[in-house]
Amino acid sequence: MKEIYDFPGEVLTVLDSWQNKKGDLFKRDKASEDHLVRFVHSKENSPFFFTLKNFRITNGDVHFFITHSPSSKLDTGIAQTWVSHKNAEGILGAWVSFLAPYSQYRNPHREDDPLLKQYQENIYNDFEFINDEDESSAFDYQTQYRLDYILDHFHSKLEMLPESEKTEDVLEIQKEIIALRENQTRLPKKEVRKQFSKIIAMLQKQGVKMLREFFDEAKKTVYKRILTGQIVDDFNGLLNKVNDAL
């Protein structure tokens, strides 16, 4: 959020009523100059959000530019609209109703699995990320492109498995890969690293043979360099190593 002196007094009065909004399904996100107020789904690893992005005065009334995801109960995309502040709370309430199914659903392949959580934590720690306290900034587009390339390889290799080996667990892994590919541009660096580690952990749970196909010391070095934005000139060479391995 900008300095308060950048806002008309009436806008500050309206925004003040949004400062302490809370609910069981959402929480207030960190302040940023990119938005006025932002809420995120309280469920771990969820990409869903509700944002008062900007304001304007129209016919003496405060209007907000609102973006939110999911856009409806039938679409996980992003909705965008200008609306009077008098109707903004109604849109927030509708957004909360869109979140309800995600908070109620319990998938045994994703939730409350202590073994998967242990694997994910071990994988994440094995990467030995340095200065990983940043939870607000996203990766640059080059890193996002490179990570997307790796995830595409993951998905393609799983797609090539014989039909008899495409278990429900494998399909869940593919869904996680697709979700990260679609959402990484909306996630901070730390969250992207956590979700990538979860994908590796899910592969590990399928057995050593499966894990070896996607993760060893050489591949870990490549992934770590991508997830820390270190790759500059040798990306093609590293891709060759991954292509050979995958």
Q: What is the pLDDT of residue 23?
A: 87
On whether both 65 and 126 belong to a single domain, the answer is no
Helix and strand tally (H, E) in the chain?
Answer: 9, 5
Mark which of 84, 104, 124 sits at the end of a domain: 104
More confident residue, 24 or 67: 67
Question: Left (φ > 0), alpha (ψ -120 to 50) or beta: where does 244 sit?
Answer: alpha
On whether both 135 and 188 belong to a single domain, the answer is yes
Q: Does residue 109 lie in a domain region?
A: no
Mean per-residue pLDDT for 148-172? Answer: 89
* The two structure tokens encoding residue 88: 């903004």
Q: Is the pLDDT of residue 243 over 60?
A: no
Q: Does residue 177 lie in a domain region?
A: yes
On whether both 21 and 88 belong to a single domain, the answer is yes
Counted domains in the chain: 2
Please give the Cα distance from 30 to 191 (Å, whole number). Answer: 14
Q: Does residue 126 lie in a domain region?
A: yes
On whether both 121 and 239 belong to a single domain, the answer is yes
pTM exceeds cut of 0.85 = no
- Return the CA Rg of the chain: 21
Please give the Cα distance from 32 to 168 (Å, whole number). Answer: 40
Q: Does residue 240 lie in a domain region?
A: yes
Q: What is the pLDDT of residue 135?
A: 66
On whether both 99 and 138 belong to a single domain, the answer is no
Mark which of 71, 104, 137 sits at the end of a domain: 104
| Residue-number span of the structural domain to which 53 is assigned | 4-104
On whether both 67 and 177 belong to a single domain, the answer is no
On whether both 124 and 190 belong to a single domain, the answer is yes
> In sequence order, what DSSP letters do the residues of 173-202 get, joined into one string?
HHHHHHHHHHHGGGS-HHHHHHHHHHHHHH
Q: What percent of the chain has pLDDT over 70?
A: 87
On whether both 22 and 61 belong to a single domain, the answer is yes
Q: Is the pLDDT of residue 148 over 60?
A: yes
On whether both 149 and 195 belong to a single domain, the answer is yes
More confident residue, 134 or 20: 20
58-62, 77-81, 193-197, 240-244: which has the minimum mean pLDDT? 240-244
Q: What is the pLDDT of residue 239?
A: 57
Q: Which residue has tokens 């014989």? A: 162
136-150, 187-201, 216-230: which has the minimum mean pLDDT? 216-230
On whether both 119 and 241 belong to a single domain, the answer is yes
On whether both 93 and 128 belong to a single domain, the answer is no
Please give the Cα distance from 160 to 7 (Å, whole number). Answer: 56
On whether both 31 and 143 belong to a single domain, the answer is no
Cα→Cα distances 53→49, 50, 110, 145, 182, Å: 12, 9, 32, 26, 21
Q: What is the pLDDT of residue 53?
A: 93
* The two structure tokens encoding residue 21: 């909004």
Q: Does residue 71 lie in a domain region?
A: yes
Closest listed residue to residue 37, CA positions, set 58, 47, 24, 22: 22
